[in-house]
């Protein structure tokens, strides 16, 4: 399944997109937001989109998110390359981006 700007309500990154599904009272979601924002700022052409899971249950169900935070790494065309549930480490995000950019 590919995700586009219409479904995400934000433009995709030129090279890759980090899509974070969060919920309001999720402490790991706040830490994940910081990590993903830092990585997106470091890597040209990468954007970070945060989606409130409670506001977008349609999308949550469509992509099969079962817990927050869940991070999808999309390639330039919006195809899911990697997925992780829970708070990611910066090194893992950078490695997943490498796979998305190479795809």
Per-residue tens of pLDDT for the chain, all 103 residues? 789 999 999 999 999 999 999 999 899 999 999 999 999 999 999 999 999 999 999 999 999 999 999 999 999 999 999 999 999 999 999 999 988 887 6
Which residue is listed with tokens 């479904």? Answer: 7
- pTM over 0.85, yes/no: yes
Q: Collapsing DSSP states into helix, strand and coil, what is residue 2? A: strand
Q: Collapsing DSSP states into helix, strand and coil, what is residue 20? A: strand
Looking at domain 13-102, its CATH architecture is 3-Layer(aba) Sandwich (3.40)
Domain boundaries along the sequence of the chain: 13-102
């Amino acid at each position: 399944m590919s995700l586009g700007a219409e479904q995400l309500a934000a433009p995709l990154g030129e090279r890759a997109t980090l899509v974070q599904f969060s919920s309001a009272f999720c402490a790991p979601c706040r830490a994940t937001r910081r990590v993903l924002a830092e990585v997106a700022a470091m890597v040209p052409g990468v954007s970070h989109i945060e989606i409130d899971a409670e506001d977008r249950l349609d999308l949550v169900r469509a992509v099969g998110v079962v817990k927050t935070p869940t991070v999808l790494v999309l390639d330039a065309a919006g195809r899911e390359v990697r997925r992780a549930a829970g708070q990611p480490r910066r090194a893992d995000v950078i490695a997943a981006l490498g796979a998305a950019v190479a795809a």
